Amino acid sequence: MSNRKLKIAIQKSGRLFEDSLRILKDCGISIDNGRDQLKASARNFPLEVMYLRNGDIPQYLNDGVVDLAIIGENLLVEKGRDIEIIERLGFSKCRVSLAAPKGGRIRSLADLNGKKIATSYPNTVKEYLDKNGVDAELHIINGSVEIAPNIGLADGIVDIVSSGSTLFKNNLEEVETILMSEAVLAGSPVMDEELKALTERLKFRIRSVLNARDSRYVLLNAPNDKIQDIIRILPGMRSPTVLPLAEEGWSSLHTVINKEKFWEIIDELKSVGAEGILVCPIEKMVF
């Protein structure tokens, strides 16, 4: 039996660190973790976690130093265009946006013709400018990009935006969104078949966790003459389970619904006679 392990990279600090460890934990993978460690092994899955500097991860994937990584899609667009996205993870959502001083002359991308843009994403920005026929000078900054307009270094910036609070604090406003991003599971292009098979095992677990996070288990009671109306409303995995209640003429229906449509569906269910609606979180969903 092979003793090989998948090597997965996650940020050693920053916004993806906690969420990356959480999804591995939710997959049932126990990691002997320490924040100051360079790497840690899983006790119950052939996996080794490597804590790396965010900007180095795409190169490590390309070189096969690590087999997988949990990384922001925006960084792959900037530094790892040829790296495969194995699974979108749905957390750490953000956007890469053009921003400029509030009330200033920069109101659109075209207004930056002949102007200066500060950014940590020069490849992404240059491609976007070229595509839109805008000629601007780029200042590459690794750090606090948002201060550049205030100190006269640039007329606008392109940076990651989540809540927008950092822009607000620096008297900046979004002008245009260049790229939407989220955390992804990315794979090295040089994995062999054995490592790909291990990756499939991990991907199966991750998908089960993500499906559960996006869904809710719903139980409700309804008069029998309303069951068909309710079934038409419920977007279940296949069809809801219908069980007779002790009270004659009534049944209990069990199904799964998407959490994003939860309140809309609940309102419809109530309008056609559903009662005693119980909603439960789901730990895992295995197909």
Confidence of residue 259 (pLDDT cuts 50, 70, 90): confident
Which CATH architecture does the domain made up of 94-181 adopt? 3-Layer(aba) Sandwich (3.40)
Is the predicted pLDDT of residue 223 greater than 80, yes or no? yes
Tell me the CATH number for domain 215-281: 3.30.70.120
Name the residue among 118, 95, 98 with its Cα closest to residue 106.
Answer: 98
Report DSSP state, residue 150. Answer: G
Q: Which residues pair with 242 in a beta bridge?
A: 253
pLDDT at residue 160, rounded to an integer = 92
Angle at 230 between CA 229 and CA 234, to 5 degrees: 125
Structural domain boundaries in the chain:
6-92+182-212, 94-181, 215-281
Q: Do domains 6-92+182-212 and 94-181 have the same CATH topology?
A: yes
Residue 21 three-state SS: helix
pLDDT of 159: 94
- Mean pLDDT value across the chain: 91
Report the top-level CATH class of 6-92+182-212.
alpha beta
Query: Over pLDDT 70: what percentage of the chain?
Result: 97
Q: Residue 257 pLDDT > 90, yes or no?
A: no
Kind of pairing between the strands at 47-52 and 6-11: parallel
Q: Which two tokens stand for residue 106?
A: 């920069």
Distance, in Å, from the CA atom of 177 to the CA atom of 159, rounded to the nearest integer, reads 10
Alpha carbon of residue 196 to chain centroid = 22
- Over residues 161-217, the pLDDT tens digits come to 988 898 999 999 999 999 999 999 999 999 999 999 999 999 999 999 999 998 999
Contact 71, 16 (CB under 8 A): yes
- Highest average pLDDT, of 19-23, 42-46, 66-70, 99-103, comes from 66-70
- CB contact at 8 A, 218 and 274: no
Angle at 179 between CA 173 and CA 185, to 5 degrees: 130
pLDDT of 236 strictly over 60:
no
Please give the Cα distance from 279 to 285 (Å, whole number). 16
Instruction: Write out the E strands in the chain.
Output: 6-11, 39-41, 47-52, 68-72, 84-88, 94-101, 116-119, 137-140, 156-161, 172-181, 183-187, 215-223, 241-244, 250-258, 275-281
CA distances, 187 to each of 58, 65, 155, 180, 195 (Å): 10, 11, 37, 20, 10
Mean pLDDT of 34-60: 88
Interval 109-151: pLDDT, tens:
999 999 999 999 999 999 999 999 999 999 999 888 999 999 9
Residue 136 is predicted with a pLDDT of 95
Whether 13 shows a pLDDT value over 90: the answer reads no
Q: For residues 20 and 17, give the distance between their C-alpha atoms in angstroms, rounded to a whole number.
A: 5
Tokens at residue 50, please?
A: 């490597």
β-strands 183-187, 68-72 pairing: antiparallel
Check residue 101 and give its pLDDT. 94
Sign of CA dihedral 156, 161, 163, 165: negative
Q: What is the pLDDT of residue 260?
A: 85
- Estimate the crossing angle of helix 17-26 against helix 193-213, to 10 degrees: 90
Give the span between the Cα atoms of 137 and 161, in whole angstroms: 21
Q: Is the pLDDT of residue 15 over 60?
A: yes
